[in-house]
Copies of this chain bind each other. A is one copy, B any other.
Amino acid sequence: MNTNVSIITIGDELLIGQVIDTNSAWMAQELNKWGIRVIRRVAVGDNWNEIWNALDEESKKAGIILITGGLGPTADDITKPLLCEYFGGKMVMNAEALENVTCLFETVFKRPLTERNIKQAEVPNNCTLIPNKRGTAPGMWFEKNGCIYVSLPGVPHEMKGMMENTVIPMVAERFQFPKIEHRTLVCYGIGEAMLADLTADFESGLPPEIKLAYLPHDGMVRLRLSSYDVKNHNNLERTFQSLAKIVGTYLIATADQTMEEILASLLISKSQTVATAESCTGGYIAHLLSKNPGSSAYYAGSMVTYSYEAKEQLLGVNQSTLIEYGAVSEQVVKEMASGLLNRMKSDYAIAVSGILGPDGGLPDKPVGTVWMAAGDTKEIITKKIHLRFNREKNTQVAAMHAMNLLRAYILKH
């Protein structure tokens, strides 16, 4: 039997770009952990014929079709009646789903149950119910001509709970999946093409079951080795170690980690903390450093100081320094970092000040100029970069460089 997965996402909002599909990426990641391979992802609108055709077509390519979206209580949600007709069932009230809806309204939403909510507990009589503990729309599992079809809500939080609690265990129990393994390392300070020249001989010598991929992102390049149907783990591990040796000093992590995770691991290993003083990045570094559970172990806090006044009052930057050199200068980021260390009592500080655009450039400081500082009470190092992207991407890349500056500082001391 074909155990490849195709994911169908349903909703006009996906086709007019009002919503970014994060569900598919999450589903693919989770399925991969179990050795389940996604071969296609298809997005279609809230349109009867297009959904129907997608079901027909994807079932020719994949043995497991995961469908998200279109299960809400409103008229634009047509997935449930469509699946009912597609599989030739008829709609019946499901006692388990009804109990769940009733309980959610009584204990969580604390609102009266309407006719429309009750109707959400109806499902086709020829499906297996997939309970949804986090919402009112139940999931459905159908089988037809050796193919499995699973329909889940598009609300990420609900879909995730149902995948973890029911769908993946049910699929994994049914099949023996071939092993897929990925190992990723992260390089910094080298472009994709130069990296490919470095690894050219290595890549041409790879065994057929191992594939190398290059994923450039925000100034870093991730190299991913994927092993399909491996007989032993050692081969991938050996190959990965050779690759790590080849990239040498460009290597900054031997796992698929973001820069904030790399910096966090380093700080945790030394039981030290960092605080940030942000001007142009506006709290983005703070957000990155605090978003993971347990971040209070290494992250002390942040001051986001947009104005001259805030830099003076909150961080103790000298007015004369601001006037003489301007807010985007080596002198100011140094004073921001040392002022922060005085006030926050963290082991390390990161400070950033720049012009991220689209406006605000000066003759000697064009849009994209960013000064950053990192260090501790003993020494503060600085760096200037020139970014050439839009505001959003400039913010991301500036944050990445600033965190890397501290990473390099810690490793040298």
Q: Which of A363-393 contact B (CB under 8 A)?
A: 388-393
Contacts of A299 in B (CB 8 A): 282, 306
Q: How far apart are the CA atoms of A19 and B215 in the complex, in Å?
A: 9
The answer to whether B108 touches A388 (Cβ under 8 A) is yes
Contacts of A37 in B (CB 8 A): 15
A283 is contacted by which of B20, B41, B216, B302 (Cβ under 8 Å)? B302
Contacts of A289 in B (CB 8 A): 282
Chain A 204-237 interface mask (CB, 8 Å, partner B; 1/0): 0000000111111100001010100000000000
Q: How far apart are the CA atoms of A19 and B20 in the complex, in Å?
A: 12
A175 at interface, CB cutoff 8 A: no
The answer to whether B43 touches A50 (Cβ under 8 A) is no
The answer to whether B194 touches A114 (Cβ under 8 A) is yes
Please give the count of copies of this chain that the complex contains: 2
Q: How far apart are the CA atoms of A76 and B300 in the complex, in Å?
A: 42
**Given contacts A13-B213, A17-B26, are A283 and B290 in contact (CB under 8 A)?**
yes
Closest to A305 in B: B301
Q: Distance in Å from the Cβ of A45 to the closest Cβ of chain B? A: 7
The stretch of A67-75, A84-92, A165-173 that contacts the partner chain: A67-75
Q: Distance in Å from the Cβ of A355 to the closest Cβ of chain B? A: 11
**Given contacts A74-B196, A388-B108, are A18 and B284 in contact (CB under 8 A)?**
no
Q: How far apart are the CA atoms of A99 and B299 in the complex, in Å?
A: 47
* 27 A–B contacts, CB within 8 A, in A order: A14-B25, A15-B39, A16-B28, A16-B182, A18-B25, A19-B215, A39-B44, A40-B42, A40-B44, A40-B50, A42-B43, A46-B213, A72-B216, A76-B211, A114-B193, A120-B193, A157-B390, A282-B289, A283-B287, A286-B286, A290-B306, A293-B358, A293-B391, A301-B304, A301-B314, A303-B314, A313-B345
B-contacting residues of A (Cβ < 8 Å)?
12-22, 24-30, 32, 37-46, 50, 57, 72-76, 108-109, 111, 114, 116-117, 120, 134, 136, 155-157, 182, 184, 191-194, 196-197, 203, 211-217, 222, 224, 226, 256, 282-287, 289-296, 299-307, 309-310, 313-314, 343-345, 357-359, 388-393, 395
- Complex A-B, nearest 8 residue pairs according to Cβ-Cβ distance, in ascending order: A283-B286, A282-B290, A17-B28, A17-B29, A283-B283, A302-B304, A41-B43, A17-B25
